[in-house]
Amino acid sequence: MVQLLQVASLGVALSGLVNAHGYLKNVEHNGKLYPAWQVGQDEYLPTVPTRYVRRVKDVGPVMDFTSKDITCNQGGNIPATGIIDVRAGDKIKLIWDQWGSSHSGPVMNYLAKCTPDCQSFKGDSGPVWVKIDQVAYDPTKQVPWGSDCLARNGASWTVTIPPTISDGEYLLRHEILGLHVAGTRMGAQFYPSCTQLRVTGGGNQNPTGVALPGAYNPDDKEGILTELWRIQQGQKNYTAPGGRVWSGAVPNTMKC
Ligand SMILES: *[C@@H]1O[C@H](CO)[C@@H](O)[C@H](O)[C@H]1NC(C)=O
């Protein structure tokens, strides 16, 4: 047991070294906290308590965003043991351990219906990912980038489950794209996570979206292979990858 704790604290110390990165730590719904996979802790536990977000390997970005690691991050895309019961139209708050302001870029949120259920669904093929929320870059705002808005809100993001989607189990894929080294090919840093939800009280909509992997092209000069400073100096417009937000989505209301 003593050895186990020593290993655990070493893990915490190491993850603290790369403190510009981060990971989704908790999900809040109706005032209740639902823990994600706890990086630097759960790896060392003989029995991991109920988690509601799929395992991630560490706090770093996905190394190859054209691979299946882009779907739910580099933890093997293993179903979590828990699932959060929500109503269509509810707000979900996604809380990171931290987020540094040097990693600017868009924040994107997608839903994929788990067929037949989340215990057997990976979401790594076919156009299953429907973009339901996005804040990319708006120079007219006080805080132009989505990721900086997240940082200003206590490293958290609030998203609304579309009121008209059909009932069922879903993965909520919440993602920050850090563009600080995106001028180098494959330098864009994606930080996705997959939260498991069971939605009731919805409508009859079953939209299709994009495939992940597939939708993120390393040569996309509008959203992925692009220099942050050119955008910030107004030399270039920015369009986030992954297509448009679905028309049935509720616009983001976070203040920045
Ligand atoms: C960005 O888009 C706006 C609106 O379409 C356009 O007026 C402007 O010229 C574009 N800027 C650049 C640098 O391409």
- The Å distance, Cα 192 to ligand 1 centre, comes to 29
- Ligand 1 atom nearest 234 alpha carbon: 13
Write down the CATH number for the domain with range 22-232.
2.70.50.70
Average pLDDT over residues 224-242: 97
Residue 18 buriedness (CB in 10 A; 0-12 / 13-18 / 19+): exposed
230, 237, 238, best to mutate for ligand 1 pocket (most atoms within 8 Å of CB): 237
10 has a pLDDT exceeding 70: no
Return the domain boundaries, the chain. Answer: 22-232
pTM of the model as a whole: 0.92
Contacts 24+ apart (CB under 8 A), 118-121: 118/79, 118/80, 118/83, 118/169, 118/170, 118/171, 118/196, 119/79, 120/79, 121/79, 121/169, 121/171
- The Å distance, Cα 46 to ligand 1 centre, comes to 55
* DSSP-derived 3-state class of residue 74: coil
State the pLDDT at residue 69: 98
139 has a pLDDT exceeding 90: yes
- The Å distance, Cα 228 to ligand 1 centre, comes to 16
16 has a pLDDT exceeding 50: no
pLDDT (tens digit per residue) in 244-255: 999 999 999 999
State how far the Cα of 56 lies from the Cα of 194, in Å rounded to an integer. 9
pLDDT level of residue 19 (50, 70, 90 thresholds)? low
Average pLDDT over residues 21-33: 97
